[in-house]
Structure 1
């Protein structure tokens, strides 16, 4: 394995863990803290906790469906 592959893998792992930790703190812990706590200024409003993953999921599923459709059309057997 090349050094570049390890660096990319480490970056993706770190990014994924950071995103998971941020979202978990935002959704699970933040609602139990006082509304005037200084930590609230580092997070978006609660409504975005549902909107962002939903829009991201729809975009990813749409991309996958278009990709699969494109591959199916491209690999279609030729008629005799």
Structure 2
């Protein structure tokens, strides 16, 4: 028997200006952001599609995190373009 595996996760890449924003976050904010990034990598259809683009806008109101991202066609890579925490 093969072991049960969890959902397949995409690889997450962070680009400018998200990288600059990331350097300004506190440890607590980074922890909250990490949870959101994991959720997005497991389910790349989270968030609302931004009209006229391939971008998605994910807001986690409980953790106070916002991530704008897009996913490659095969959903193997998630590119984070913007973060707020």
Mark yes or no: TM-score above 0.5.
no
Query: Which has the larger share of helix?
Result: 1
- TM-score by structure 1 length? 0.30
